[in-house]
Structure 1
Amino acid sequence: MLIDWLTIRAPYESLNPEALKVVLAYGDRVQRIDAKTGELRWETAAWDSIRSDTHAISVKAGGSEIWIQGSPARIIAQGDAVFGSGASQALDISGCIERMTAFVGSMLGITLPEPKPWIVSRADITENLRLADHAEVRQALSILRDCEGGRYRVSQQAGDTVYWGGKSKHRRGKAYAKGPHLTHIMKKPDYSGYPYTPEQIADAHQLLRLELTLAREWFARNDWKTVTPAQLKNEWDDYFGRMIGGAEMKTETDLKTRVMAAANTEGQGKAAIGCWALIQSQGWEAAREMQSKTTWYRNLKILRAAGLGDADLSRGQIVQLRRRVIECQTVTSWEQLARSA
């Protein structure tokens, strides 16, 4: 697991005079001008990449703050953004901020402040899951594309990538096949990032990458200075764990047994089983409309406690994704991936 993206900003008053002078003069400005009168309607700073060939880190001089965003993994050690290293792999937000600000400061010839005054508005928490082969990865993505209902709304599908949550300011998700992504970036003529080998690219075709974005509203409710690596991991587990489900079930009989065990009473268990049958026959949306809000959410709570994930509930069937993800491994290095291949 790694932090694959951070967006941070700091008020100008936290910068020393020399740094402020450089920042205010840095980068391009975008203006909107009235064509008839020549009046300047508004002006804003543009994001400028510090390392344009790899798009490692971008900087923007805003109206009252300096903004920095990008992948800390790409500027730590050799810049491996698949598994990360150092603070990125340790889910250490403070350490990532230190590395990003030191990198920007060295490129601009200035000293930027320590992590304390920086404000975090986005962090991407990413995990790599190894499946049997690329065909398994694509099949898992096919199942995930149908995962809707509840907190999940598929907002976009593009090739080997699925997005949930659209422009949510709280949390949003992304799943994609890592192998094709690496193949694509390595073909760019100006690429000069981490030197992935042909063997690593081939092994990466087994990887299903699941990425959780914690956005502005999440950090408005959670001060990053008190957020621990365990909390970040729990957020990822909560988001994708409920999607996949928590138990392996091979038959409807297995499910019924688990539902009855999860319910407080026999009547609630039978009602939850009836709700599942309704979802199977009528679909998620129709089944929800046919039950009261209280009954619907009670039934869903029991079905999820029995081990169903939102991927199952969306399809109205016990999907094979759970078995694949339970049997697969989380991998944290190229060496581990090569050994398990």
Structure 2
Amino acid sequence: MLSKSFNIGHLNIKNRLIAAPMAGISDLPFRSLCYQFGAGLAFSEMFLANEQIWHTEQSLQKMASKHELGIKAVQIVGSDPDEMAKTAELNVIHGAELIDINMGCPAKKVNKKLAGSALLQYPNLVEQILLNVVQAVNVPVTLKIRTGWDKAHKNCIEIAQIAQRCGIKAITIHGRTRECLFKGLAEYDSIKEVKKNITIPVIANGDITCPEKANEVLKYTNADAIMIGRAAQGKPWIFEDIGFYLENKSLKPEKNIDEVKQIVLQHIKSIHQFYGEKKGLLIARKHVFWYTQNYINSDHFRRLFSAINHATQQIDALEAFFCTITVKS
């Protein structure tokens, strides 16, 4: 099942496992780990359609990188059709091989600007944005949505059909409405119905947290691929675990402490290198929180780790921590 590759436009995606675009998380160091552990595609965190900030270091760091291990896929977010087209063009000029349009983000600060999932309320505007972006670039364009604005207005089938008519090459659907945020359980009936009503690839997203769930969602929805988001935080090797299960119908043995330590150290060092020490120290903290949260007495370590102000001391502290930890039962 895993070995079933699929195409997004002219791009061949080697398997059915995709790393989600997550704001403040899906940077180059994180995407590199996802690719290293078997993701067929990894999207960047969302790039704002705002010319006034394109020159900033933060925006430049979100663009495609020559160091990308896999396909250079950049997600963009905004509400103005012309600005979205310009944003797509800019990123393609800087090396993006695939553009993804965010119409799924539920954050208030995004929605109040009529971007992200707020756009699902306005199918005509959705259509204009999609047409403008598709016509502006010569790379495949994909779309990420939720099932609708709220449970009374689930319109993912309508939006998916609009997307297909506009030339969108694949669509990802998170199995919640915007109203749900990340509460409750994701549902997959809507994704299954979208798959029945369009011919472009459909990617299922939401609450896929383990190999068994990944297999279940793929079978139930008949989706072309699954997208993993929060479950990869602190466990980027989840793609490897899911891939093993899909191929062998058995669970891959858990990584031992030394293997986890090496992954964490590799990640934190790459964060320091990518962002520089000052910013890297801050970003490393949240990843270390996720990596260490399942170990006994890790709360005390994280408090101490948050007070460290030098990159080398962060590495030394992690080395020491992994020499003393035990796994929670």
Scaled to the shorter chain, the TM-score interval is under 0.3
Larger radius of gyration: 1
TM-score (norm 1): 0.21
TM-score (norm 2): 0.21
